Amino acid sequence: MSESIRDKVAVVGVGCTKFGDLYDSTYEDQVCDAAFAAFDDAGLGPDDVDAAYVGTYLPHSQGGKAGISLADPLRLYGKPITRVENFCATGTDAFRNACLSIVSGQHDVVLVVGSEKLKDRPGRGIPRIGHQVLGKGNTAPGLFALAANRYMHEFGVTRSTLAKVAVKNHWNGKRNALSHLRMEVTEEQVLNAPMIAWPFGLFDCCPTTDGAAAAIVCRPEIARKLGKDYALVKGAALAVATGRPYYDPTFDYLGFRSTQAAAKAAYEQAGIAPSDVDLAEVHDCFTWTEITNVEDLGFFPKGEGWKAVEEGKTRVDGSIPINPSGGLKSFGHPIGASGVRMIYECVKQLRGQCGERQVKDPEIALAHNVGGPGAVSCVVVLGGAG
């Protein structure tokens, strides 16, 4: 393998807006709120930044189309700013690129911002792209539902197990002041909610959300001089698989190969095994997705992630807490911001700053996104400075 980035990048500041229906906040407002929260956290300012990366999946008239959507609101003129878009892995990939720019020696301090305005768009939902026939009329819930049905048939899983994922993540999100759906739900509510695409009811699906998150990365020696409580990047890996798995007769629809590959690479960079991870923020765009993701990430064998949910292993007080933030399911999913928001949560957890949903004494945290669905995945491993 090429040279690892392990412990060569520090996350010295993080910030996040409230997620939700932010009709009174513009794209630029969100960028500023998240970025300046990260600046305050790091004890730095815009003038200290050498470069920046902005993650946005669906740009529109309010911003996100290019680096200027970060340069103008923050007055970061004359500096390299790159827009990143990579399906639901947009935010984590922007973060990965920022880390690589530090390790390459090009920059000392880099800002990452993920931001999305989805609630005040003229069209409903996320526009579909791809094959002109096979892609016509499909939706994200419908596509993931196809794989969920295959998994449930193969392993004998019922909707009750999926509902337990929603109950857990809403319990966590209720205790997170920034989450979009800050409420608890019961298993009965989840099972009786309106059906969206079988087996997914309304509470099996993450909400469409506005929001932004930011992180500041730098060389570890700079972080030490700042005297801040920082985290170290142990690994950051991206993997891309086919966006047309229905053409591949060997694809079993029981998991996502991009996640499996990205996780393997990230663990190798970090020099750890899945069992070394103390908590994980994983891509729970739907309840079943969390279950297959924890298997693809190596926390449980294929076909046994659902048992871990039933046994409570993925709760905040379980053996491997999953989505202590509330996840996409409760925190919300502004696509370009979600990955950076996961970094925010991981850093806060490693610092011990998460209150009632704090995981006990974490040393290694993982952030994971998968999108496409299943075509692209990014995995970031973070550790405390020690």
Catalytic residues: 88, 333
Give the span between the Cα atoms of 293 and 283, in whole angstroms: 7
Give the span between the Cα atoms of 194 and 346, in whole angstroms: 33
Give the span between the Cα atoms of 140 and 146, in whole angstroms: 10
Contact criterion met (CB below 8 Å) for 332 and 181: yes
Neighbours of 125 (CB within 10 A): 11
245 cis-preceded (ω within 30 degrees of 0): no
The residue type of 215 is A
Q: Which long-range contacts (CB under 8 A, 24 or more apart) does 118-126 make?
A: 118/58, 118/208, 118/209, 118/210, 118/334, 118/335, 119/21, 119/22, 119/23, 119/208, 119/209, 119/210, 120/23, 120/210, 121/58, 121/60, 125/208, 126/58, 126/208, 126/335
The residue type of 311 is E
Contact criterion met (CB below 8 Å) for 155 and 258: no
Contact criterion met (CB below 8 Å) for 137 and 239: no
The beta strands (E) that lie in the chain are given as 10-16, 51-55, 81-84, 109-116, 195-197, 200-201, 211-218, 231-240, 279-281, 364-371, 376-384
Can you state the angle between helices 159-174 and 287-296, rounded to 10 degrees?
Answer: 90
Three-state secondary-structure class, residue 162: helix
How far, rounded to the nearest angstrom, does the alpha carbon of residue 165 sit from its chain's CA centroid?
A: 17
Neighbours of 59 (CB within 10 A): 19
Structure tokens at 372: 């496409």
